[in-house]
């Protein structure tokens, strides 16, 4: 079997490779999305801490 | 005795304890998912023989079936953890359920689309309103319903209760998906692997299929841990352990 035959998939190339490409997209999305979510959550908590510290300093003035 | 078990469960299911422990597990799940997945792909695409009826198109099976199995498995994890969360009020269980929903939805979506891409050359249509396909589509909507309830209800405990109840009721649909190919005359083929008789599949096709299923499961384990950690951080954002952790970052 050579490579062009392999990619041809016996005439079903479109169906087979679209399926595999979509799988790759879903896998990557499942990796990237929680990592972005994590960054957002950490940034949000950091902002909250900052705000609370400012309010705390004000109340002591 | 029961009391000490209860204490043990509470200690290990504390979000703080989970957060520390899960960090060590994630790399192992990630690497093993990658290795098993690559080996499964190699066997599935290069070693497994051509199917005598479906030609090369059947190679979609190595992602379609694991994705479909995972869409059911993740749903059961979601429903069972929701039940544990509702009955014993273990917060970590609610977090696992919420973390599972988007992953399960992505598997259900993948199962539907790859099935459609397989159906077109084999059945002549991308979609038919067949019992198996329709019940799998309902599964995707159940995931969406769970996620919508989670984000729509402000109070976290009420959100967990409402979405958890939906998840538990939706288990009926899992049974329907499983038996749909027996109860109705469908285009979708019957079980070839999960049945009492021996699997009606060539061993060189069966092994990569099972490897891919294992790879999907390991991948889910890694992703659900990362997502549950996010849930723990967010839900405990006003607690001391999260504050100390964030201050160290």
Say which CATH number the domain at B61 has.
1.20.120
- How many domains does chain B contain in total? 1
Q: Which residues from B are below 8 Å from A11, CB to CB?
A: 55-56
Assess if residue B204 is contained within a domain.
no
Task: Return the closest-CA partner of residue B209 out of B192, B225, B221, B226.
Answer: B192
- Give residue B197's pLDDT band: very low, low, confident or very high (50, 70, 90): low
Report the range of poorest mean pLDDT among B39-53, B156-170, B214-228. Answer: B39-53
Assess if residue B15 is contained within a domain.
no
- Tell me, what's the ipTM? 0.91
Assess if residue B126 is contained within a domain.
yes
| CA–CA min distance B138, chain A (Å) | 20
Q: Which residues from B are below 8 Å from A16, CB to CB?
A: 56-57, 59-60
Q: For residue B45, what is the DSSP state?
A: I
pLDDT by 10s per residue, chain A, length 61: 688 888 889 889 899 999 999 999 999 999 999 999 999 999 999 999 999 989 888 888 7
- Give residue B199's pLDDT band: very low, low, confident or very high (50, 70, 90): low
pLDDT at B94 over 60: yes
Assess if residue B202 is contained within a domain.
no
Q: What per-residue string of b and e applies to B73-97 under the rule 16 or more CB within 10 Å gives b? A: bbbebbbbbbbbbbeeebbbbbbbb
**pLDDT computed for residue B44 by the predictor:** 94
**CB nearest to A19's CB, from B63, B103, B106:** B63
Assess if residue B8 is contained within a domain.
no
Binding-face residues of B in 94-133 toward A, CB within 8 A: 102-103, 106-107, 109-110, 113-114, 117-118, 120-121
Q: Find the domain containing B150 and state its range.
A: 24-188+209-248
The answer, for B26 touching chain A at a CB cutoff of 8 Å, is no
Cβ-defined contact of B64 to A41 (cutoff 8 Å)? no
Taking the domains of chain A in order of start, what are their residue ranges? 31-61
């Amino acid at each position: 079997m050579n490579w062009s035959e392999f990619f041809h998939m016996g005439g079903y190339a479109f169906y087979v490779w679209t399926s595999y490409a979509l799988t790759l997209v879903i896998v990557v999305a499942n990796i990237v999305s929680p990592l972005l979510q994590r960054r957002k959550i950490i940034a949000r908590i950091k902002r909250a801490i900052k705000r609370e510290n400012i309010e705390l300093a004000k109340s002591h003035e | 005795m029961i009391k000490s078990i209860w204490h043990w469960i509470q200690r290990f299911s504390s979000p703080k304890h989970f957060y520390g422990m899960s960090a060590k597990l994630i790399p192992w799940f990630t690497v093993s998912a990658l290795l098993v997945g690559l080996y499964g792909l190699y066997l599935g695409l290069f070693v497994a023989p051509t199917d005598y009826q479906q030609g090369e198109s059947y190679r979609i099976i190595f992602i379609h079936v694991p994705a479909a199995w995972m869409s059911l498995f993740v749903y059961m994890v979601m429903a069972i953890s929701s039940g544990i969360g509702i009955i014993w009020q273990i917060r970590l269980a609610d977090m696992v359920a919420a973390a599972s929903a988007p992953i399960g939805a992505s598997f259900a979506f993948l199962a539907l689309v790859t099935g459609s891409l397989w159906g077109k050359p084999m059945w002549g249509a991308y979609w038919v309103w067949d019992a198996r396909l329709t019940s799998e589509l309902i599964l995707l909507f159940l995931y969406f319903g769970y996620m919508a309830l989670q984000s729509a209800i402000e109070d976290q405990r009420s959100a967990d209760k409402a979405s958890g109840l939906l998840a538990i009721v939706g288990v009926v649909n899992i049974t329907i998906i499983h038996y749909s190919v027996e109860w109705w005359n469908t285009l979708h083929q019957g079980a070839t692997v999960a049945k009492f008789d021996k699997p009606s599949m060539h061993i060189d096709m069966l092994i990569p299929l099972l490897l891919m299923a294992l790879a999907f499961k390991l991948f889910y384990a890694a992703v659900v841990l990362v997502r549950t950690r996010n849930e723990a951080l967010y839900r405990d954002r006003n607690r001391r352990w999260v504050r100390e952790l964030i201050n160290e970052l």
